[in-house]
Structure 1
Amino acid sequence: MAVAETAGLGPVLAFGLVGVFGVGAQWLAWRLRLPAIVIMLAAGLIAGPATGLLNPSRDFGDLLSPLVALAVAVILFEGGFTLDLHRLGDAKSGVKRLVFIGAPLGWLLSALALVYGAGLSWESAAVFGGIMVVTGPTVIAPLLRTAKLARRPARLLQWEAIVNDPIGALAAVLAFEVVVTARSNLSMGEAITHLALGIVFAALIGGAVGFFIARAFARGWVPEFMKVPVLFAALLVTFGVTDSVLHESGLLAVTVMGLVIGNADLPSYEELRRFKEHATVLLVSGVFILLAANIQIDQLMALDWHAALFVALVVLVARPATVLISLAGSDLPRNERMLIALTGPRGVVLVAVAGLFGQRLAEAGITDGARIGPLAFVLVVATVLVHGFTLAPLARRLGLANTDRPGLLIAGGSRFTTQLAEALMKAEVPVLITDPNHAHLIRPRASGIKTFYGDIIGEAAEDKVELMSYSTLLAATDNDAYNSLIATDLGPELGRDKVWQVPRVKDDRERHALPTQIGGRRFGEGRTLEGYETLLAEGWRFRITRITEEYKLSDWREKRPRAVPVMVLSPKGELRFVVDAKAMKVDPGGRIVSLLPPEVSEEETAARSKRAERPSGQPGPAAPIP
């Protein structure tokens, strides 16, 4: 065992294990529907301190610090790239307050909590307090989707996390440079000049590189297949050059670079965004596993009641005070302010940046800098668990949660979608019909169905549509190409298994077939929108039938031989369109949404009328077919 510890795994095998543990933890969290950060923390602690299988300091040696630094640089570039200033919508005013007032105030209150709660020195508290401005953009999105918050508080929380992500890192950079400069032999004037020149240089280099990259991409100077490699190479060079001039200023440069490129309105924005999302998932999980595995048992054991006091001060004092003071006098209702004040989960970015700067502080001679990493882990786990279990009940208590039932978003107003929406509304399933053609919405509006006039993939929809309220999408306009565009665009956000599309005309012909990555899932055994419209014109009507232990699916098939099943509502309320009627499965408690032929619909209507006319208390015939 001693030989294994001395020899180590080697950087190649250790790197592979980091990938397996990181990505495996993310997948397991998805399967268990738990916050990924909790599973990653457990995986890192098991791989590192618990078993000794992975020891980053031993296995990577001198490569560990630059690996973490480069990964953090890419993560912060992603934060700047995500910050699209044009998409703040009705949350813009609140976000400005939470940034310009909340970030400095949160920095101060967090530093106070670290000094008087955790017992850190002012030097370490100033650096870590800046990082704590970040509220976890990688954590807040899953929590918001689970809690189904109303649009405005959800956007405020999401955009606060996105905007403060780079700001928190920059605050840590500034505090770190001030601390290091104060410990140097430079005079105060020389130190300030050196710091200011380094910051200006980093910002100018990052802005200039971002501007040049955006201009080159927009003018076609770089072919499509080279854009991602060029962007990645420019990111690494920018970080390396600026970091060599002023230590840690590379993080500022790449953040500014991402901000400039992200707001350049590039045609290739979506491709670049998806790449950086994939890269960030890999790097975030890798950095988290590395930092968790590198924690020493004695560091964790050294945490005492001061750590608990620190977490309590952050959750119950620093965060609420920061938000309530920042939003005082705004037009936000009181319940929205309270919800935001009591919601502030920290995430992977905080752990990654805190681990990096904690190590730097320890190397600079500030011994309690080594405590920053374990404290960051404790804060992240505590806030994720607390807000993960309390956000949804709190939102419901304050009247800011949408319905617990997953809803259906329908693109396209027609007879088919209107009657389908009417049937689902009777089953208490939320439905929204959208269409860029105003005339197509006349029918659903007359039926009392919620509608949105406009392009569902346009910027206006981001401000006015509560997308989190709808778990499933049906693209059913009279334009097959537009249906494919909607399904392709919203697929990554909703999940491709939740995005459906009416079959295209000639969809089954090889000449007209589309690649599998374009469009949504087809249903209805090839029946097009025109086919459904024809059935409705002939008198077919939607009916919902519940399957029970007594009335099984086989009974339904026997009683409804000509029925056309369209959807299945699971006992948990999940929505699923029927791809193959013969292979359809429905659990007891589930419901079938189907089209029934005219004669069956007339029989059921007549039976309901007779039951309604029968005097109360008079026995009637046997119960009708469900």
Structure 2
Amino acid sequence: MNALNFSFLIIALLLFSGVLASRVSARLGMPLLLAFLGVGMLAGEEGIGGIKFDDLPSATMVSQLALAVILLDGGLRTKFETFRIALKPAAVLASWGVVASVALLGAFATFFLGIDWKLGLLMAAIVGSTDAAAVFSLLRNSGVRLNARIRATLELESGVNDPMAILLVTVLINLILQPQQTGIADTLLMLATQLGLGLAFGLAAGKLLAVLLARIRLAEGLYAIMIASGGLMVFALANLFDGSGFLAVYLAGVMVGNSRNSAVEHVLNVMDGLAWLAQAGMFLVLGLLVTPSRLLEQGIPALVIAAFLILVARPLAVYSSVKWFRYSRREIAYISWVGLRGAVPVTLAIIPLMRGVPGAQMLFDVAFAVVILSLLIQGTTIPFFARVFKMVLPPKPEPLDSREIWLSDRLSVELQSFRVETDSDAENSHPYAMTRAFAEGRPFALIRGGENIKVGLATRMQAGDIAWYVLPEHLGDDFARQFADRRHRQDQQQFYGEFVVKPDVKVGELAFAYGLKVDEHEAQTTLADLFRDRFGDVPVAGDRMNIGGFCVTVKELDEQSHIKWFGLKMPKKSGAVA
């Protein structure tokens, strides 16, 4: 019994230390995942903990379980709108992009390390895919508001590119160990099976889980357990039938997350904690598994390989994948930079070790070092390069918090809160005055100094107050503008311009009003049509086009993702305020 309690103590101590270390990591601008990885390495056989851990099957099991939970949580938070925005480019990145990265990096690794070409390609395949755990975590905690198209592309790519990486690793291992039994037909059949069954299992299970979630009455805490266990079941079933469990569990999460019912909010709240626990446990185990001295021995080769991957292979693969989808050079550059590697490459690197591939230990050490370098170099610079490549949108006023109170299975009341900022329209105004242009909104509570203030005729809101309103979710951002201070308005004007124009205005009318120079054909079209001609049918806030020297930027979309407003920014040389 003492041995069991001691084991519990060690596990709890590692997790607790990792959580505390994550606070230091966040202040230093480092990815939180590195904190748990570092704690695991410190507790390992060459660290202060001295724990010897070399159980590869257990490490694989923990990693696969954790990745399934992380992908399920990522799917739950992925809106259908994300697929509309970036499905095609993300699909090309997740297939051809992985193949191109592996081919380029494999050729380089073969030449640089002087190893057999099959081993070089295997190394490239191990680190060839981006990692969902790293991408989801770092993008959502980067502190910057990214262009929606870039964010959607990166998240979808990381969520669906694992099947291709697993396929390439499997094929190359078979090519090394059983070359006579590995053929092109078998490889294509394996790919079709992985993708087809992963897609079928994921969509079917997601639909079934969504229906069960809406119809079964459970204690609040059990909804998340039902979805988590259901997600793990579809993950395991897809794998048992040689499909992609990772793709299946991600799609199942997408289907559940986009079903609107009273239980989804309970699921999301609990799954967030489960996903963090999964990430923490996974990186602690992987940290225990690695031997730091071997990482140092492979430090220089790993640095060179990581540099080639980050600066050459990934950019070329991204360019060849998305250049057909009207991405700008800056957007391609940023997508190339955020090719984060994480737990998936390390998990894939365990497979050659378990199957006895010659040189597998070197592959594992180099892959692990590449992951650490990727998190250190790319993970810490996501906000910086977002600003360098001008991918950052100005912070927009938005609700401080939102709650949904379900009155029945399909009837709910949405509450949203807003902080009253200094020098805002809300300051010194009555709470009801904010609803004049929002007939569906009404005050619910006014919090001042942590206490609920009774609203009377003479009540006036003060800076720092938290005002709660009964308000439909889709009106939250528009409503929040009344609570934003002057700095927010200035940031918006500096980015979008001082003037706001409707999408149905004729370009010729705009040209006449502001002295723009446009050709006769463009003069007869609307701004929305001109944008569609230049950029396609999938607009996002921040998309820009130049008309006669003036910058026209998509400022806001409506609920159907149609352009609602453009911002018009005059050139500085005109003497106008831009």
TM bracket (short chain): 0.5 to 0.7
Out of 437, 440, 464, the residue aligned to residue 439 of structure 1 is: 437
Rate the CA distance shift 1:170–1:436 in 2: closer, same or farther, 3 A: farther
2:360 counterpart of 1:360: no
Query: Displacement, 1:279?
Result: 0.9
Provide the residue aligned with 1:490 in structure 2: none
Query: Displacement, 1:48?
Result: 1.3
Q: Distance in 1 between matches of 2:93 and 2:183?
A: 32
Rate the CA distance shift 1:191–1:417 in 2: closer, same or farther, 3 A: closer
SS of the residue aligned with 1:327?
helix
2:440 counterpart of 1:523: no
RMSD: 4.5
Query: After the TM superposition, which residues 572-587 of structure 1 pair with which residues of structure 2 at under 5 Å, given as runs?
Result: none
SS of the residue aligned with 1:46?
helix
Query: Displacement, 1:313?
Result: 0.7
Query: Displacement, 1:188?
Result: 4.6
2:40 counterpart of 1:44: yes
Rate the CA distance shift 1:23–1:116 in 2: closer, same or farther, 3 A: farther
Rate the CA distance shift 1:17–1:179 in 2: closer, same or farther, 3 A: farther
Out of 162, 166, 187, the residue aligned to residue 169 of structure 1 is: 162
Query: After the TM superposition, which residues 261-272 of structure 1 pair with which residues of structure 2 at under 5 Å, given as runs?
Result: 261-272=256-267
Provide the residue aligned with 2:340 in structure 1: 346
Out of 371, 377, 397, the residue aligned to residue 380 of structure 1 is: 371
Q: Distance in 2 between matches of 1:100 and 1:61?
A: 28
Out of 408, 423, 430, the residue aligned to residue 420 of structure 1 is: 423
Query: After the TM superposition, which residues 452-471 of structure 1 pair with which residues of structure 2 at under 5 Å, given as runs?
Result: none
2:210 counterpart of 1:214: yes
Rate the CA distance shift 1:525–1:285 in 2: closer, same or farther, 3 A: closer
Letter aligned with residue 45 of structure 1? M
Out of 13, 16, 19, the residue aligned to residue 20 of structure 1 is: 16
For the 8 Å contact 1:26–1:40, the answer to whether it is kept is yes
Q: Distance in 2 between matches of 1:143 and 1:216?
A: 31
For the 8 Å contact 1:181–1:191, the answer to whether it is kept is no
Letter aligned with residue 439 of structure 1? A
For the 8 Å contact 1:127–1:171, the answer to whether it is kept is no
Query: Displacement, 1:49?
Result: 4.3
Q: Distance in 2 between matches of 1:24 and 1:266?
A: 36
CA offsets per residue over residues 239-273 of structure 1, 9 Å max, x none? Answer: 44454554x95445434433443444454333222
Rate the CA distance shift 1:51–1:98 in 2: closer, same or farther, 3 A: closer
Larger Cα-atom Rg: 1
For the 8 Å contact 2:126–2:169, the answer to whether it is kept is no
Q: Distance in 2 between matches of 1:358 and 1:119?
A: 19
TM-score by length of 1: 0.58
Query: Displacement, 1:374?
Result: 3.2
CA offsets per residue over residues 49-87 of structure 1, 9 Å max, x none? Answer: 4325253636x6864443333223323333444433324
Q: Distance in 2 between matches of 1:440 and 1:209?
A: 40
Q: Distance in 2 between matches of 1:50 and 1:192?
A: 41
CA offsets per residue over residues 154-191 of structure 1, 9 Å max, x none? Answer: x3443233212232322232223324554458575995
Rate the CA distance shift 1:317–1:436 in 2: closer, same or farther, 3 A: farther
For the 8 Å contact 1:157–1:340, the answer to whether it is kept is yes
Out of 60, 66, 71, the residue aligned to residue 66 of structure 2 is: 71
- The count of corresponding residues between Structure 1 and Structure 2 is 442
2:466 counterpart of 1:566: no
Rate the CA distance shift 1:101–1:535 in 2: closer, same or farther, 3 A: same
2:281 counterpart of 1:278: no
SS of the residue aligned with 2:129?
coil
SS of the residue aligned with 2:437?
helix
Query: Displacement, 1:281?
Result: 0.7
Q: Distance in 2 between matches of 1:75 and 1:393?
A: 26
Query: Displacement, 1:290?
Result: 1.1
For the 8 Å contact 2:56–2:354, the answer to whether it is kept is no
Rate the CA distance shift 1:161–1:269 in 2: closer, same or farther, 3 A: farther
Provide the residue aligned with 1:320 in structure 2: 315
Letter aligned with residue 40 of structure 1? F
Query: After the TM superposition, which residues 47-58 of structure 1 pair with which residues of structure 2 at under 5 Å, given as runs?
Result: 47-51=43-47, 53=49, 55=51, 57=53
Query: After the TM superposition, which residues 74-473 of structure 1 pair with which residues of structure 2 at under 5 Å, given as runs?
Result: 74-87=69-82, 95=90, 98-99=93-94, 102-117=97-112, 122=118, 125-126=121-122, 129=125, 132-134=128-130, 138-139=134-135, 142=138, 146=142, 148-149=144-145, 151-152=146-147, 155-182=148-175, 183-184=177-178, 188=183, 191=186, 195=190, 199=194, 203-220=199-216, 224-244=220-240, 246=242, 249-328=244-323, 330-341=325-336, 343-344=337-338, 346-347=340-341, 350-351=342-343, 353-387=344-378, 390-401=381-392, 409=398, 420-421=423-424, 439=437
TM-score by length of 2: 0.62
Provide structure 1 residue ranges, at least 5 long, that are not aligned to the other structure: 1-6, 425-432, 442-454, 456-476, 484-501, 504-521, 537-564, 568-575, 579-592, 594-626
Provide structure 2 residue ranges, at least 5 long, that are not aligned to the other structure: 401-414, 468-484, 486-578
